[in-house]
Amino acid sequence: MARLSDIRAQWIANHVLAHEPALRAFLSARRVVHLEVDDIIQETYAILVGLESVDHIQNAKRYMFQTAKSVMLQHLRRARIVSIESVAELDRFGLAIDEPSPEHQAGDRQELRRVIALITRLPEKCRQVFILRKMDGLSQHEVSERLGVSESTVEKHVARGLRTLMESLRTGGNGGSGASSHSEASSQPQGERRKIHVRSGDQRRH
Amino acid sequence: MSDRETSGAIDDTAALWAARVDRGPLSNDEQSALDAWLDADPRRLGAYARARAIDLRLDQARVFGADLAEFQEQEKAGPSRRGLIGVGATAAAGVGVAAVLLRDKLGPLTDYRTRKGEIRVVPLADGSDLTLNTASEVTVRYSQAQRDIRLINGEALFNVAKNPERPFVVQIDDMLVRAIGTSFTVGRRDDGSLRVLVREGVVEVSRTGGEHAPVRLVANTRLIAAAGVPPRAAAIPPAEVTRDLAWREGMIAFEDTSLAEAAAEFARFSDTRIVIEDPEVSSRTVSGLFSANNPIGFANAVALSLDLTITADAREVRLGQAAPPHQTS
């Protein structure tokens, strides 16, 4: 099992993370068989960690999509349920990787602003810890001294905040509350799934 | 398949591990525990990598702390506070620049200075305070009628306690910056240009000769006066004002700043020089918040994110192009 180096984690932070919502939207709309989007995402990241080098990757988004596709194929082979439909779906999958990515232009700044908006909505204590740790750049140790709480309490707040942000990235950056309406779509008939999924992200905004 | 651990449960544990690593290096036992956890399911490594990446991404959000502070301040203050500052400034404007020239009994003169890399907050007798940036010097003289500050070198931020009866005037070279209750910086750069940045309230800028009418600057305005050209004032976003004041926390903030400019900025704070000979490299840009007295840390971060080589000794850090990437696909 590969270990996660700081350098690779940084590379993922800088080049991959921003494309996750696009990949999720894509997978959700084209899902085949009983394969959870979250599983594919996690395995995709695992493969990116395991790569010996990422120097050759010019287009991280494309690489991420291709990796996700290979994860799907592997699952399909293992499950022996390659229907004609699913192969067709995968073809479409392949085509879409070549599409230009307008959201790439949206840029770091917008993404970070969204993150900041999320931080401001964290529960009081958790937000306090996050602001000191991430905005003011104090270490967890320094944060614990500043707030007069134990280091393990600070660590717990960091974990809670991270978990919320992980969830918000999963649900399209609209706060961490709606966690699990995702999988409901899989019980829908194939034809309707697409529409339903596109809406599910928007519903949470109201 | 149904008794499989859910991806959500994996994310829960991944967040705990990422938070633990965020705290500091793992002990050997902890590393073994993490490895054992990761080994049991390939999805765990992915979830953990994702959690770590989000954590690292947040460190880069620091430079946007300005937005957060602004956001919170607006919530707190509401419109009424701004209104009050405006009224005070207008009333005081009537007192006129002439007050600057009317010297009465002079108070004692006090001198404050900082060495390179040092930042100092000086509380003043009237409740105002000033913060001296690196390698700066001011003299302070309070009299009955006026609060006189002279900036001899460098740059300083002034938070002025409001008192329309007793103007607060900062002089640098032949430029006078007059405030009533406000927050602003005044400084001189190495090229001799003078800068005024207004964070809150209103200030009035004039020249000691008095041949020009004073210029009024409102909050979130920067004025640059270089020799031989008329002073230029420009509105800037509040977030940029706060970034510009990162030095108060011992930090330097960049946003799409060229490495050449960034190196020059670090040179204000530290004797360890950042040297970039390759013009292609020095024109590349960087964003982020960095510790002002740690040019080596900055260079390391830049080398990592821009894929540059780095060589360092006690006096300087050199950044250059990395060798062409080897093909592994």
Instruction: Indicate the domain borders of chain B.
Output: 7-106, 110-236, 250-321
Give tens-digit pLDDT for B192-216. 889 999 998 889 888 877 666 788 8
pLDDT-derived band at A176, boundaries 50, 70, 90: very low
CA-to-CA distance for A204 and A179, rounded, in angstroms?
10
pLDDT of residue B301: 82
Question: For A165, phi and psi rounded to 5 degrees?
Answer: -70, -35
Q: Structure pTM?
A: 0.47
pLDDT-derived band at A155, boundaries 50, 70, 90: very high
Three-state DSSP state, B107:
coil
Please tell me which residue, A206 or B48, carries the higher pLDDT value: B48
Whether residue B129 is predicted with pLDDT greater than 80 in this model: the reply is: yes
Number of Cα atoms under 13 Å in the Cβ half of residue A142:
10
Yes or no, beta carbons of A137 and B16 under 8 Å apart? no
Please tell me which residue, A35 or B124, carries the higher pLDDT value: B124
Yes or no, beta carbons of A162 and B50 under 8 Å apart? no
CA-to-CA distance for B302 and B273, rounded, in angstroms?
15
Three-state DSSP state, B186:
strand
pLDDT-derived band at B163, boundaries 50, 70, 90: confident
pLDDT of residue B121: 82
Three-state DSSP state, B271:
coil
pLDDT of residue B101: 28
What is the pLDDT averaged over residues A26-50? 83
Whether residue A49 is predicted with pLDDT greater than 60 in this model: the reply is: yes
Q: Which segments of A12-102 does DSSP mark as H helices, in order? A: 20-29, 37-50, 60-79, 84-96
Q: How far is CA A17 from the centre of its chain?
A: 6
Give tens-digit pLDDT for B220-240. 999 998 877 777 888 988 888
pLDDT of residue A186: 36
| Three-state secondary structure string covering B126-180 | CCCEEEECCCCEEEEEECCCCEEEEEEECEEEEECCCCCCCCEEEEECCEEEEEC
Residue entry with tokens 């300083």: B156
Residues of chain A with C-beta less than 8 angstroms from the C-beta of B57: 13-14, 17, 112, 115
pLDDT-derived band at B191, boundaries 50, 70, 90: confident
What's the token pair of residue B45? 């490594």
Whether residue A163 is predicted with pLDDT greater than 70 in this model: the reply is: yes
Whether residue B296 is predicted with pLDDT greater than 70 in this model: the reply is: yes
Residues of chain B with C-beta less than 8 angstroms from the C-beta of A43: 42-43, 46
Q: Which of B19, B67, B287 sits opposite A158 (nearest CB)?
A: B19
Yes or no, beta carbons of A43 and B46 under 8 Å apart? yes
Whether residue B98 is predicted with pLDDT greater than 50 in this model: the reply is: no
pLDDT of residue B61: 59
Nearest C-alpha in A relative to B49: A9
- The CATH number that domain B250-321 falls under is 3.55.50.30
State how far residue A136 is from chain B, nearest Cα, in angstroms.
7
Q: Which of B43, B52, B55 sits opposite A39 (nearest CB)?
A: B43
pLDDT of residue A87: 54
Please tell me which residue, A123 or B48, carries the higher pLDDT value: B48
pLDDT of residue A37: 87
Residue entry with tokens 């894509």: A26
Residue entry with tokens 């937005």: B67
Residues of chain B with C-beta less than 8 angstroms from the C-beta of A4: 45, 48-49, 52
What's the token pair of residue A183? 């999988």
Yes or no, beta carbons of A120 and B68 under 8 Å apart? yes
What is the pLDDT averaged over residues B65-76? 42
State how far residue A96 is from chain B, nearest Cα, in angstroms.
22
CA-to-CA distance for B256 and B38, rounded, in angstroms?
38
Question: For B33, phi and psi rounded to 5 degrees?
Answer: -65, -40
Yes or no, beta carbons of A169 and B54 under 8 Å apart? yes
Whether residue A73 is predicted with pLDDT greater than 60 in this model: the reply is: yes
pLDDT-derived band at B145, boundaries 50, 70, 90: confident
Yes or no, beta carbons of A151 and B249 under 8 Å apart? no
pLDDT of residue B326: 57
Whether residue A205 is predicted with pLDDT greater than 50 in this model: the reply is: no
Cα–Cα–Cα angle for B1, B6, B8, rounded to 5 degrees: 165
User: What's the ipTM?
Assistant: 0.76
Whether residue A196 is predicted with pLDDT greater than 60 in this model: the reply is: no
First-to-last CA distance in chain A?
43
CA-to-CA distance for B187 and B153, rounded, in angstroms?
8
pLDDT-derived band at A109, boundaries 50, 70, 90: low
CA-to-CA distance for A163 and B233, rounded, in angstroms?
45
Whether residue A140 is predicted with pLDDT greater than 90 in this model: the reply is: yes
Residues of chain B with C-beta less than 8 angstroms from the C-beta of A178: none
Residue entry with tokens 């007059």: B178
Nearest C-alpha in B relative to A6: B52
Q: Give percent of chain B with pLDDT exceeding 70.
A: 81
Whether residue A154 is predicted with pLDDT greater than 90 in this model: the reply is: yes
What's B110-236's CATH class?
A: mainly beta
What Å distances lie between residue A123 and A118, B3, B66, B162, CA to CA? 10, 33, 20, 36
Of A127-131, B14-18, B321-325, give the lowest mean pLDDT range. Answer: B321-325
As a residue count, chain A comes to 206
Give tens-digit pLDDT for B258-287. 999 999 988 888 888 899 999 999 999 888
